[in-house]
């Protein structure tokens, strides 16, 4: 525990391991909606199945990739930069790809 506190400079920053664990859990709960929303409107079930055309990723695959990406990038940010930033998929760009490029312009997943 001392090596973790030393690496992340917890004493210098006026915090404890327990406080950081609670803050991390709170941040996860606040950001967890992205996993579900992203899977719904980028995945196969979005817009009444219109996006679920041949070759489109499944909602389950989008769910898994969103969760893994957010988790790995957040851990990487903490370990490499030593800074408490949580990272996740940007919902605005996902909406542009799903609704404007694919549904609006009729592009395929590969083209978008």
Residues 111, 68 share a domain: yes
Do 53 and 82 share a domain, yes or no? Answer: yes
44, 25 Cβ separation under 8 angstroms? no
Full-model pTM: 0.75
Specify the higher pLDDT residue, 44 or 106: 106
Phi, psi of 36 (to 5 degrees): -75, -45
- pLDDT for res 45: 46
The verdict on 26 and 46 lying in the same domain is no
Q: In this predicted structure, what is the pLDDT of residue 12?
A: 92
Whole domain around residue 9: which residue ranges?
Answer: 1-31
With the CA atoms of 112, 60, 23 and 88 taken in that order, what torsion angle do they form, in degrees rounded to the nearest 10?
A: -10
57-103 per-position pLDDT tens digit: 777 888 898 899 999 999 999 999 998 899 988 888 888 888 888 88
Within this chain, do residues 42 and 2 fall inside the same structural domain, yes or no? no
Please tell me the total count of domains within the chain: 2
């Amino acid at each position: 525990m001392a090596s973790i506190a030393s690496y992340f400079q917890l004493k210098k920053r006026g915090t404890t391991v327990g406080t950081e664990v609670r803050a991390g859990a709170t941040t996860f709960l606040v950001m967890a909606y992205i996993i579900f929303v992203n899977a719904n409107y980028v995945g196969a079930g979005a817009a009444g199945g219109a996006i679920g055309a041949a070759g489109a990723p499944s909602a389950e695959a989008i769910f898994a990739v969103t969760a893994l990406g957010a988790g790995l990038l957040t851990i990487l940010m903490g370990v490499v930069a030593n800074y408490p930033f949580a990272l996740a998929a940007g919902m605005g760009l996902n909406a542009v790809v799903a609704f404007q490029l694919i549904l609006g312009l009729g592009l395929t997943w590969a083209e978008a």
